[in-house]
Structure 1
Amino acid sequence: MAGVFALGLTGPAWGFNQPPTNLSATTFLDGGAPPGLYYINYSIFFNGRKAVDHNGDVIGGGAKVDALTQLHQLYYLADVELLGGRLGFDVLLPLVAVTAQGALFDTIPVTANTAGVGDFLAGPALQWDKGSLLGRPVFQRVESDLSMPTGKYDKKRAANPGNNLWTLDSYYSFVWLFTEKWETSARLWYAFHTENRETKVRPGQRLHFNFAVSRELLPKLRLGAAGYFLRQVADDKLAGARQADSRERVLGLGPGLVYSGGGLTAMLSHPVEFLGQNRFVGSRTTLQLIHRF
């Protein structure tokens, strides 16, 4: 899944090159949907109130960024079995608006005010609905998504809706209904990126996961906590050369709730970020709306 925006920098030991991704856009009850066609809308607001370096220290220059993303997703789960699961397919298109100000290291301006279409994403999925753990239902899914360089991009801009590179992002997810009222969900991804031919930067491979737990308070209402962790596991490359101290990291954690009724499911979460390295750190508010046709 595409995320918020791309911040492109080229220079030694700078980082900030990871393409956006699903950081707590998907949270609670992440699986077990019956066959059918689904439209999913995500409204994501990211407030990056500070930039941090590879040690987690605030970078001079007062750089800040705000990004508003509208993600439009269609997901089709067929009533066709393959390898014991059901075959699905996913397409997603983001619309992104970014405002940035200030500078990094007191010298590199990141001023931006841009909006446009982000990178198109598509991929197949397999979902298994018949699992159990300790006698309680478990729903599982695997998916592999390809993000394509179709979004608005200008190498002269500090921030862009598009990334100008390809990303293969594959994940395993599960939801475990471990009591009648409690559930826990998680997704675990691994991503590979190609080189941005305009900047000659190739972001390093990354591992990240979302996690959530919730409890039913009323028949249509759940309350819980959701979060994510991202860790870049390989250095960025500039013109083929590895860039030391360029790996990114962030942890997010916050409250969330779920409301289901009238053919619509709404999920709201607000993680606050900690332990950042080589990226903007702040908070991320997501409203997810799910409709089954």
Structure 2
Amino acid sequence: MPEGHTLFRLAREQQEAFAGRPVHVTSPQGRFTAGAELLDGRCLDRVTSYGKHLFAHFGGDALHVHLGLYGTYTAGTGTPPPPRGALRMRWEGPGPDGHGVWTDLRGATVCEVLTAPEVDRVLDRLGPDPLRARSRDGALAHRRIAASRTAVGALLMDQSVLAGVGNVYRAEILFRHRISPFRPGREVGPEEWAALWADLVVLMRAGVRLGRIVTTRPEDRTRRRGPAGREDAHYVYRRTGLPCRICGTEVATRDMVGRNLYWCPACQAA
């Protein structure tokens, strides 16, 4: 599932390509026909993201998209290819340089038109997003974590606690701070959380800049100079059975809240 940095980049890219101009909106698949007709030909004001949610604002209405596990956007310039398969929604318009631009949406969990009050209700259900300037103190997230006996590894995946963090950031941020994913949330202290939150802001902003998640420090990589290769990008995520980069213990995995959890049993001892 795309994590918060991906949605942030998508919002910025769609803003640059379409904002300030009318957008031709269609639903070749037919599942979004009513919404497409409501938005078609209207001027796009802005595109924003919050956590894993994308909002394209057309006057008083907003297109709300949640990609879920399988949703994807593709985009291009010039004439778009003929619609094929389950193409939920297509945007077409004049780009900022006068050439045509387009983007296609497939497989999204949510694709709907909301009013402003309905958008507010979606946002009210979400915890703070590390990529949103007004919520970067993380205090609300820690209050919810500190009040819970649930394992912190599960709490970090709860979007009502923390918005935008997915399976990769969960595994990597807990390893970087040597916190067991099985520790109850109420045992994560305020200073510990403050350090974790600040690190998460840095990592997610780097994810926006790079277009990928890199959590390893140069001194912990096989190749210490230059950009991190795919094999060096993470400490524990998808490294089951491989030696921990710090202590050599085999990285472990098990299911937690429906997703594979990765951790080092030695560095992150309970």
- TM-score for both structures, normalised by structure 2: 0.22
Higher RCO (CA 8 Å, separation ≥ 6 residues): 1
- TM-score for both structures, normalised by structure 1: 0.21
